[in-house]
Structure 1
């Protein structure tokens, strides 16, 4: 599973359980549209730490990095240790 597929699946399972993963566009603004709120953002960050080994204390947690599935994927590719989250 690619990073973008994993992110989309996680977002749908956690925040949009009635929506098929294929219907969530990579550029759909998760924050602006109320899909992910501030508590949900903490859940996303915790998942990134667990799945990809990203240390939230050592990376820049700019809110822009979490606005869309594509932005979260770019954040993973920039911040995760190499080979992290490979399934």
Structure 2
């Protein structure tokens, strides 16, 4: 399973139940369209941190990094496996 598919499947399971995976376009704006609220964004970041071992607390990120599946995929591939700052 690719990172993109994994993220898409998680977003659908958590925030868009019943939507076929292939129907969520990777550029669909999750924030603007109300799929993910600010609280849900925190939950998503926690899941990504656990799933991909990303120390988000140590990184400079913005909501735009989580605006779409494509944006999230870029963040994950850029930061996956980085060691936490000490």
Listed as ranges, the gaps of 5+ residues in structure 2 are none
- For 2:4 and 2:77, the matched residues in 1 are separated by 10
1:49 CA displacement: 0.9
Q: How does 1:1-87 map to 2 (within 5 A)?
A: 1-81=1-81
- For 2:77 and 2:59, the matched residues in 1 are separated by 12
Listed as ranges, the gaps of 5+ residues in structure 1 are 83-87
TM-score (norm 1): 0.90
RMSD: 1.0
Q: Secondary structure at the match of 2:48?
A: helix
Bigger drift between 54-63 and 6-15 goes to 54-63
Q: Which structure shows the higher helix fraction?
A: 2
- For 1:26 and 1:67, the matched residues in 2 are separated by 10
Deviations 1:42-72 (A, max 9, x none): 1110011110001111112211100000000
TM-score (norm 2): 0.91
**Superposed structure 1 runs of 4+ greater than 2 Å apart:** none
